[in-house]
Structure 1
Amino acid sequence: MTSELLRVRDLVVEYPAKGFRAKPFRVLKGVSLEIGAGETVGLVGESGSGKTTLGRAVLGLAPVTDGTITFDGADISHANRRQRQKLGRDLQVVFQDPYTSLNPAMQIGDILAEPLGVQGIGAKQSRARVKELLDHVNLPSDALQRQPREFSGGQRQRVAIARALALSPKLIVCDEPVSALDLTTQATVLDLLLQIQRETGVSYLFISHDLDVVRHLSHRVAVLYHGEIVEYGDARQVTERPEHPYTQRLLLASPVPDPDAQALRREERQELAASR
């Protein structure tokens, strides 16, 4: 059994509401989950379900109203800036849009070296590490002197993954990392993430709206609906034989490349909607 790396317990996230005496808007309503070392937990839900907010709370980018977030044995629910900087070695993120997550004015070599410099790693060691990272994500060495605009969406996401790997983190929060890519490129990036996990033992919190995507690399899956987890368990069970009606609707909404299978899913989705 893998050792526990991340534990989220009864997490509540609220934002102030507009208007006089308006109650705060509660995005997460007591969410709990765990991620073990070397494990991937998929977090699935539609837009507005709170899944990205959970990822942001883990990263310190969303306020924790109640509950706790424990990472590698330490409570990071309300970590300050200095503590967050130290956490940067072990906790990283890959964002959704490869076109906006990379600074267009910087060369790829400088983008990859930036997190190393922040942690006080010298120039010589940084250069060697950057070359390793390019090899790790299967990008050519001449990418160092090029800018993000010279790459495709899939290649840019490879650069973003390399940047997240720069400090050899223990956990990477992947926030819809393939949703902006075409299906073929999605599969390539997902295979890369699996390969990296096998080689490094890194853990992923993989956030997506697509059950078919999280099935590809998750060990367990949590389904979030209106700020609450409605189904949580083994990835195959949740993504192939879901028990909760909301998860069943998510599964039927996932696109498939086979037109006949897609038509069948559409019929099943209509039948499920009619039975409610």
Structure 2
Amino acid sequence: MSLLEIEDLRVQYPGKGWRANPVEVLHGVDLDVEAARTVGLVGESGSGKTTIGRAVLGLVRPSGGSIRYAGQEIAGLRGRARRGLASQIQVVFQDPYTSLNPSMTIGDILAEPLVVHGATGHDARARVRSLLDQVQLPVDAIDRLPREFSGGQRQRVAIARALAPGPKLIVCDEPVSALDLSTQAHVLELLIDIQRETGVAYLFVSHDLAVVRHISHRVAVLYRGDMVESGDAATVTSAPEHPYTERLLLAAPVADPAAQRERREKRRRLLDATA
């Protein structure tokens, strides 16, 4: 049995204007995530990939379909029942600059979810030191503020905060898109190492097919609320079957100018053919 099972998921948002009909942004999506594995959700802005992550986190109410975690239906959970899942399902957001409280020390940021779940101050402090080591930050970070760190270091803090309660699933919502390429690579390798050590599963949301290819075991491609292709990451990202997936692949830049021109021309032809 998969850790996370999504079946026929539909989400509607209110339409713009008075008495406007609601707009369906997900049209019956099926997806599953196995324990200790990574599923990459990829698509352009507006494809619905972030909405899937928000639905799993309980931030969006589905209009139809099912979301099951460890066999339990969670799509309709609210209040205390939903909060009880916080130790099992965590999130790493896109922007490390706004996802951390600027007035709290790193130690307090990391200890907060532990104390909420019943840890003593002493135990929380010990766990915080362990988390800092796990995300490869110095122990003196515990008494420093977020503004004293670079973007990549702040994202490591955000990852440590997500790991604090010992979750089985982390929703990664564009976790490296705000970072430079070198820092992206380091953070991705950190996530891979953490998965090997802890067995945590990732639902990894990104617009970048190259990033998804690097970290994912399986890839699902979304286009305007529909899943147009899914399968093994190596297969989907090297020999895509759907024209939209091929367009995403061709959108990634390469270092060779001649090859880059050829990719642009091929992508233009695909755009013309599917317009």
TM-score greater than 0.5 by the shorter chain? yes
What is the RMSD of the two structures over their aligned residues, measured on CA atoms?
A: 1.2
How big is the shift at 1:230?
0.4
- Corresponding residue for residue 161 of structure 2: 163
Aligned match of 1:36 in 31, 34, 44?
Answer: 34
Aligned match of 1:243 in 231, 241, 252?
Answer: 241
How big is the shift at 1:258?
4.5
The two structures have a TM-score, normalised by structure 1, of 0.96
Unaligned runs of 5+ in 1: none
Residues in 2 aligned to 1:17 and 1:271: alpha-carbon distance in whole angstroms: 34
- Corresponding residue for residue 194 of structure 1: 192
The two structures have a TM-score, normalised by structure 2, of 0.97
- Corresponding residue for residue 24 of structure 2: 26
CA separation of 1:258/1:98 partners in 2, compared to 1, >3 Å: closer, same or farther? farther
- Whether 1:133 and 2:134 are equivalent positions in the alignment is no
Residues in 1 aligned to 2:173 and 2:191: alpha-carbon distance in whole angstroms: 13
Alignment-mate amino acid for residue 226 of structure 1: R
How big is the shift at 1:19?
2.8
Residues in 2 aligned to 1:227 and 1:243: alpha-carbon distance in whole angstroms: 18
Residues in 2 aligned to 1:190 and 1:19: alpha-carbon distance in whole angstroms: 42
Residues in 1 aligned to 2:100 and 2:256: alpha-carbon distance in whole angstroms: 34
Residues in 2 aligned to 1:150 and 1:257: alpha-carbon distance in whole angstroms: 34
- Corresponding residue for residue 54 of structure 2: 56
How big is the shift at 1:171?
0.2
- Corresponding residue for residue 77 of structure 2: 79
Give aligned pairs, total.
274
Deviations along 1:66-91, one digit per CA (max 9) or x if unpaired, are 10100011100011121121101110
Deviations along 1:81-140, one digit per CA (max 9) or x if unpaired, are 211211011100000001000011110000000111111111111011000000000000
CA separation of 1:266/1:20 partners in 2, compared to 1, >3 Å: closer, same or farther? same
Unaligned runs of 5+ in 2: none
- Identity percentage of aligned residues: 66
How big is the shift at 1:265?
2.0
Deviations along 1:8-56, one digit per CA (max 9) or x if unpaired, are 0101111122334321011111111000011100000100111111100
Residues in 2 aligned to 1:104 and 1:71: alpha-carbon distance in whole angstroms: 33
Residues in 1 aligned to 2:208 and 2:219: alpha-carbon distance in whole angstroms: 11
How big is the shift at 1:158?
0.3
